[in-house]
Amino acid sequence: MAADSRIQRARARARAAKVVIGAGTLLVFGVAFVGAKIHAPGHAKGTAKPLDAPKSFKRAVRRSIAQGGQIAPAVQPPPVATQTS
């Protein structure tokens, strides 16, 4: 009976040790994961943004390229001329 009791106590200590080691491992992994996400290059802190120019800028430029200007009959001697260059 005494021997069985010692074995049971040893098994209980082993189970407790396994639980502690497992929990510790999970804790270390979790802390390292969060730390890496915050500090290590290559881990995005927020939502990834495209490096391209903003769409609003692209739309404005494209609209500008496609649009005609306003002209009317001349009313006075022109101070400047258009020509091929």
Partner 1 sequence: MTVDRFQAMGCEIVVAGADPAAVAAVFEEWEDAFSLFRPESELSRVNASGAGVLSVSPLFARTLAVALDAAEDTDGLVDPTLCGRRHEVRVAGRLLSRPAGVALDLNGVVKSLAVDAAAELIADEGFVSAGGDIAVRGPVDVALPDGGAIRVVSGGLATSGVASRGRHLVDPRTGEPSDSPWEQVTASGSSCLAADVAAKTAFLLGEDGPAWLDERGIPGRFASLDGSVVESRLWTGALACT
The binding track of 44-83 with respect to partner 1, each residue x by CB under 8 A or -, is ------xxxx----x--xxxxxxxxxxxxxxxxxxxxxxx
- What are phi and psi for residue 32, nearest 5 degrees? -65, -40
Going from the C-alpha of 46 to that of each of 11, 37, 38, 43, 58, the distances in angstroms are 47, 10, 10, 9, 24
Task: Give 45's contacts (C-beta < 8 A, 6+ positions apart).
Answer: 37, 38
We find the least distance from the C-beta atom of residue 35 to partner 1, in angstroms, to be 28
Residues comprising the chain, all counted? 85
Nearer to partner 1, 45 or 63 (CB): 63
Position of tokens 């692209």? 58
The binding track of 6-45 with respect to partner 1, each residue x by CB under 8 A or -, is ----------------------------------------
We find the least distance from the C-beta atom of residue 53 to partner 1, in angstroms, to be 6
Q: Give the binding site for partner 1 (CB under 8 A).
A: 50-53, 58, 61-85
